[in-house]
């Protein structure tokens, strides 16, 4: 029982950290990746809480489809983001490809 | 302290993180992500509330959360579309439209 | 990013640190308030679990979540599918309505890993979605999960820009609304037969729920796929303008 509690506490701690990082990370791309990770951890949490229906839906929608949507949208606003120096990692040539 | 209570408090914490993100974050995409984080917090609270013991749970909040997940992704898609559209508005086009604002014209998005 | 829209508005004198500080104080206060309220509230022995367990026999399925979603609170699900449809209509990718529903456009780049993934995982996802739909009656699973998995398979197929779905074709329109149509039709027919909206007769409730779930699965899958396409397709203007001739 106490081991489960330790697991729960660790899970919760990492979820809170990921929640923070998925909003306030330096680059938007990292934010999105952290948000997908948050979705996957949420899947584990729902399983831990016995909500297997919700866990399946969260894995498919929360982590999968939402992540794909966010990445597709990020792909579209990328050039300006690179100009705003919000994105530090994208080099200009990659950004130009999609203009 | 039971683990359900722990999860409920964590849900409130995620909600607060998301709320502060919505209020503080600069980029619109960060605000959308923050809204989603808020959603995850609320779902976590509801599911932890629904759990009565190891195997007994209240199915009504689970159904609500399932509905909520689908609605959340729909809302996210709508918000992202609006974000991309606003991003793609040409500034000169906007200025021209503003000058001709006497006769309202459809902005070509 | 809204800077360019800000031409008329000179902008409030915003001190970023001050706003951050005030927001964090406010949110922390709210959090403390909520946690105090939570600790003072005993959530046990409330809820609708006994009610659902009592009447699960009447619902036609044995999975309580499916019973709540499709029987006890079917209104929620009906309205949810309607909301999803409204969002899809708002963002629908526009295409020539006469072209085929599903197209395979000329392959611009050949990615071995991607095509192998598409060949192996997409069919497996379709089978698994069918299983989830069927299993939803008595164990975790159901229309939303199956629809989301099918949409995931569609998203996988869209990668690389080889396969496209034309959401403006009449088949796609039919598939988008079929979930809502069947749901409303069953509900209205039940007014005729049983006297009230969405009250299933006991002997046929199981098959009616399966029918509604199957149609809802298709609608949800294609709706989620169209949400993805609305953001994804415009990234490939060449494809979007219809420059590539369709093969099939």
pLDDT digits (tens, 9 = 90+) for B24-52: 888 889 999 999 999 999 999 999 988 87
pLDDT, residue C119, reads: 87
Residues of A in contact with B71 (CB under 8 A): none
Q: Count other C-beta atoms under 10 Å from residue B53's C-beta.
A: 10
Q: Is C105 helix (H, G, I), strand (E, B) or coil?
A: strand
- Select from B25, B37, B47, B29 the least CA-distant residue to B72: B37
- Neighbour subunits, B (≥3 Cβ pairs < 8 A): A, C
Contact at CB, A53 and B87, closer than 8 angstroms? no
Q: How confident is the model at residue C52, as a pLDDT? A: 82
Closest-CA distance, A79 to chain B, in angstroms, reads 10
C112-145 pLDDT per residue, tens: 888 888 889 999 999 999 999 988 888 888 888 9
Residues of B in contact with A70 (CB under 8 A): 29, 32-33, 76, 80
Q: What pTM, to 2 d.p., does this model score?
A: 0.83
Which residues from C are below 8 Å from B77, CB to CB?
Answer: 87, 91, 227-228, 230-231
In the three-class reduction of DSSP (H, G, I as helix; E, B as strand; rest coil), residue C46 is classed as: coil
DSSP classification of residue C47: S
Nearest chain C Cα distance for residue B34, angstroms: 14
- How many CB contacts within 8 angstroms connect chain B with chain C? 119
Low-confidence ranges of chain C (pLDDT < 50): 1, 235-248
pLDDT class for B1, splitting at 50, 70, 90? low
Token duo for residue A29: 């791309």
pLDDT of residue A83: 47
The H-or-E segment that residue C165 falls in is: strand C163-165
Alpha-carbon gap, residue C159 to A40, rounded angstroms: 22
CB contact under 8 A, A61 and B70: yes
CA distance C134 to chain B (A): 18
Is residue A98 very low, low, confident or very high in pLDDT (cuts 50, 70, 90)? Answer: very low
CA distance A23 to A34: 9
Q: What residues of chain A lie within 8 A of the CB of B3, using their CB?
A: 4-5, 8, 48
pLDDT at C162: 78
Secondary structure letter of residue C103 according to DSSP: E
Reading the block at residue C137, the tokens are 């009656």
**A with C: how many residue pairs have Cβ under 8 Å apart?**
55
Whether the CB-CB separation of C228 and C153 falls below 8 Å is answered with no
CB contact under 8 A, B77 and C47: no
pLDDT at residue A5 greater than cutoff 70:
yes
User: What is the phi/psi pair of residue C111, to 5°?
Assistant: -115, 115
Interval A10-38 mean pLDDT:
93
Which residues of A fall within a CB distance of 8 Å from C235? 72, 75-76, 98
Residue C148 has its nearest CB partner, among A61, A73, A76, at A61
Distances (CA, A) of C92 to C6, C161, C234, C243: 29, 18, 12, 20
Buried b / exposed e across A67-82, counting CB within 10 Å, b at 16+? bbbbbbbbebbbbbbb
Give contacts of C144 with chain B, Cβ < 8 Å: 66, 69-70
Q: Rg of chain A's alpha carbons, rounded to an integer? A: 17
Taking all residues of chain A, what is their mean pLDDT, rounded to a whole number?
81
Residue whose C-alpha is closest to residue B52's, from A2, C54, C140, C47: C47
- β partners of residue C164: C103
Q: Do B44 and A42 touch (CB under 8 A)?
A: yes
Residues of B in contact with A15 (CB under 8 A): 10, 14, 40
Model confidence pLDDT, tens digit, residues B67-104 = 999 999 999 999 999 988 888 876 667 777 777 665 55
Residue C136, SS3? Answer: coil
Q: Do residue C2 and residue B91 have CB atoms under 8 angstroms apart?
A: no
What pLDDT does C45 receive?
A: 63
Cβ–Cβ contact C52 with B under 8 A: yes
- Which sign, positive or negative, has the C-alpha torsion C191, C192, C195, C201? negative
Residue C102 DSSP label:
E
Q: What is the DSSP string of A39-66?
A: HHHHHHHHHHTT-HHHHHHIIIIIIIIH
The reply to whether residue A72 touches residue C65, judged by beta carbons under 8 angstroms, is no
Question: Residue B12 pLDDT more than 90?
Answer: yes
Cα–Cα distance, B17 to B6 (Å, whole number)? 16
Phi, psi of C167 (to 5 degrees): -80, -10
* Model ipTM value: 0.81
State the sign of the Cα–Cα–Cα–Cα dihedral C175, C180, C181, C183: positive
Please answer yes or no on whether B78 and C35 come within 8 Å at the CB atom. Answer: no
User: What distance in Å separates the CA atoms of residue B40 and residue A30, rounded to the nearest whole number?
Assistant: 18
Which of C140, C149, C155 lies at the smallest CB-CB distance from A53?
C140
Inter-chain residue contact C230 with B87, CB threshold 8 Å:
no
Q: In a mutagenesis test of the B interface, which of A50, A87, A98 is the best target, namely the one with the most B β-carbons within 10 Å?
A: A50
How many whole angstroms separate alpha carbon A87 and alpha carbon B83? 17
Write out the DSSP string of C115-146: HHHHHHHHHHHHHHHHHHHHHTTTSS--HHHH
Q: What tens digit of pLDDT does each residue of C166-187 get? A: 888 888 889 999 999 999 998 8
How close is the nearest chain A Cα to the Cα of B18, in Å?
8
């Amino acid at each position: 029982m106490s081991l489960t509690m330790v697991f729960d506490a660790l899970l919760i701690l990492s979820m809170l950290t990921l929640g923070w990082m998925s909003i306030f990370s330096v680059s938007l791309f990292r934010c999105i990746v952290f948000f997908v990770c948050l979705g996957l951890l949420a899947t584990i949490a729902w399983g831990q809480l016995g909500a297997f229906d919700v866990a399946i839906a969260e894995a498919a929608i929360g982590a999968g489809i939402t992540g794909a949507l966010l990445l597709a949208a990020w792909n579209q606003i990328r050039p300006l983001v690179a100009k705003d120096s919000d994105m530090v990692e994208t080099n200009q040539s990659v950004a130009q490809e999609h203009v | 302290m039971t683990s359900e209570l722990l999860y409920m408090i964590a849900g409130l914490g995620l909600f607060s993180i998301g709320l502060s993100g919505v209020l503080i974050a600069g980029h619109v995409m960060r605000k959308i992500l923050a809204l989603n984080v808020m959603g995850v917090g609320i779902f976590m609270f509801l599911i932890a509330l629904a759990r009565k013991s190891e195997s007994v749970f209240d199915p009504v909040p689970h159904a609500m959360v399932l509905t909520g997940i689908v609605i959340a992704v729909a809302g996210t898609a709508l918000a992202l579309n609006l974000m991309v559209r606003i991003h793609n508005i040409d500034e000169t086009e906007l200025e021209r439209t503003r000058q001709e604002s006497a006769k309202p014209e459809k902005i070509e998005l | 990013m809204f800077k360019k829209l800000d031409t008329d508005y000179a902008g409030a004198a915003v001190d970023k640190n001050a706003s951050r500080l005030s927001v964090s104080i406010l949110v922390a206060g709210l959090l403390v308030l909520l946690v105090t309220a939570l600790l003072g509230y005993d959530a046990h022995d409330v809820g609708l679990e006994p009610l659902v367990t009592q009447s699960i026999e009447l619902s036609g399925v044995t999975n309580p979540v499916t019973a709540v979603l499709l029987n006890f609170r079917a209104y929620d699900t009906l309205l949810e599918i309607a909301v999803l449809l409204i969002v899809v209509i708002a963002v629908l990718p526009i295409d020539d309505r006469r072209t085929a529903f599903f197209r395979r456009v000329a392959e611009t780049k050949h990615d071995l890993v991607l095509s192998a993934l598409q060949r192996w995982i997409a069919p497996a996802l379709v089978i698994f979605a069918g299983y989830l739909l069927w299993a939803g009656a008595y164990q975790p699973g159901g229309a939303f999960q199956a629809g989301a998995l099918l949409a995931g398979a569609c998203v996988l197929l869209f990668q690389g820009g080889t396969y496209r779905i034309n959401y403006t074709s009449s088949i796609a329109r039919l598939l988008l609304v079929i979930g809502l149509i069947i749901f409303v039709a069953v509900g209205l027919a039940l007014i005729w037969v049983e006297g009230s909206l969405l009250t299933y007769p006991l002997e046929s409730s199981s098959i009616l729920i399966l029918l509604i779930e199957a149609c809802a699965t298709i609608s949800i899958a294609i709706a989620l796929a169209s949400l993805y396409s609305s953001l994804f397709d415009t990234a490939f203007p060449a494809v979007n303008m219809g420059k590539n001739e369709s093969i099939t």
